[in-house]
Structure 1
């Protein structure tokens, strides 16, 4: 046990989750990081311990967040070894990019289990002690794709819409308890996640539009700045944190004119690659789709995102085959 507040970052072995864990460490928290891949987790926590630049300590916990039993065991172990969880941030996610016709039920199941059920189960595991103490902070990383439907991201959008509803509804239920629920709505960020996203349908052409979108500075946010703003919002107990002016505009336009927004996004979807007529091909990771595409232009357009992949532990997942 220790006297520092304990923070649990679910899905903190790379990308945005890794940066959030680092930010909490710098602010003096004892941070428990969980991820499915034990090898990636060990490498990530070792680097966090080296680069924390603050008084906090970190410990890794292998856990498959889609397994309810493992979620319960995770929270129990953190409580017994570090102390009760005072801050929970759920970041874990999976992205499948491609037209609906090329997706499978398994894609939807993976998205919902990871990005909706995991936040629900984790929150319900830590809430009894938080309520008893009269204090606690819960942050759920959703997406602009959980407020405005994004084309060619239907499994992701389905799960994120649910996560927004859960997180906002939880904030309502917790009013007056001293425990808060923060819904985080990011825009695209330069974490390098496009290299580990799954691409279905015409994989190379799907990567050709998604990779640059998640990498270019005018379209994607700096991930370190995003992590600071997220941690600020969660620790202050804000009900919602919306990152970037573009996300705020998109939400307002959709709120004022939802039918028009859906029609406009439908037109955008028609410009994206259609599903191949041939039999369904197995999904490909982003770094594999990039090799198949073989485009120097797209390589240049994704340079900033690829830099993020190197800096924020995304490349380690490629070596081990770990999930995002």
Structure 2
């Protein structure tokens, strides 16, 4: 497995007594910001992601903040995760903090989804956190201390329309992380379930849009960019790191997420019916000849709407800052 290294990667464990943090999915977006926040708080950080080019850019961006090294790892593969944890434990130092952020988003009506969409979502956002936590857990339990954070979503508490694979995986991640927190009670190791709402990370550029891809982009990208709907990702990263280091069982990051969870708890049937009505307002599935999956950049180009471009201005700025 390839490895991209920053200068601290050659240090032996005894050369630096700063705590070691691993951020899986930390090469861009929210993961990059969490890595930066951990560096600012005195951690040595190992950033892991699938893409070597993204890791090189992350190293250049993060190196001014503290000792960072980057390694390629696909969280979908438990063997790669195991090798990563073993390498870090033996060549960097004991892992004190693990945060799993890696995720994929597919926005499409259910008629345009295929089983692979669910498999990719589950492998990345459900099995990924399980692979990571269960691999690092024996090391942390042996030492009697450790912090595990799993970035889930409001989509793991309330299933939004046109995001069914995403919600399916995030519901699984919430169940795993919340149950793990209870199971670890009294051990000195904690698990934090991180529940963000929409954040301005610029992640809409990497999202995948199916069905009528330009039309799906036209509602999703503004929602992930407008300040009254989405929140500043830098502030979110600070709150996430606060919660993980403090060992809090759960942190809900946005007022809309907080509201959605409580409404769902009080009136689950009504919530589902309302979301069904919202889904009927979203784009219909096109005929087979009109369906073509696209990432955010291609969908925006195909849409060609200056109005939507204006609505996503803050999201585009965030994408450039956060290497999306």
TM (norm. structure 1) is 0.94
Q: Cα distance 1:39–1:100, how it changes in 2: closer, same or farther (>3 A)?
A: same
Q: Is the 8 A contact 1:102 1:280 kept in 2?
A: no
Aligned to 1:229: 239
Distance 2:25 2:214 in 1: 27
Taking the TM superposition and a 5 Å limit, the aligned residue runs for 1:174-323 are 174-279=184-289, 281-314=291-324
Q: Deviations over 1:265-306 (max 9, x none)?
A: 000000000111224734200010000000000000000000
Cα contact 2:152–2:174 (8 A) shared by 1: yes
Q: 1:87 is matched with which residue: 77, 93, 97? A: 97
- How many angstroms apart in 2 are the aligned matches of 1:167 and 1:104? 27
The Cα shift of 1:117 comes to 0.3
* Cα distance in structure 2, aligned partners of 1:201 and 1:150: 17
Q: Contact (CA 8 Å) 2:212, 2:290: kept in 1 or not? A: no
Tell whether 2:28 aligns with 1:14. Answer: yes
Structure 1, unaligned runs of 5 or more: 315-324
**Could you tell me which residue of structure 1 aligns to residue 126 of structure 2?**
116
Distance in 2 between residues matched to 1:67 and 1:231, nearest whole Å:
26
SS in 2 for 1:3: coil
Whether 1:101 aligns to 2:139 is no
1:320 corresponds in structure 2 to none
Query: Counterpart of 1:32 in 2: which secondary structure?
Result: strand
Following superposition of structure 1 onto structure 2, how do residues 141-152 of structure 1 map, counting pairs within 5 Å?
141-152=151-162
Q: How many residues align?
A: 310
SS at the partner of 2:82?
helix
C-alpha RMSD of the superposition: 0.8
Distance of 1:35 and 1:72 partners within structure 2:
14
Structure 2: tracts of 5 or more residues without a match: 1-12
What CA distance in whole angstroms lies between the structure 1 residues aligned with 2:323 and 2:205?
A: 11
- Distance (Å, rounded) in 1 between the aligned partners of 2:223 and 2:63: 32
Q: Does the 8 Å CA contact 2:212/2:292 hold for their aligned counterparts?
A: no
- TM normalised by structure 2 equals 0.94
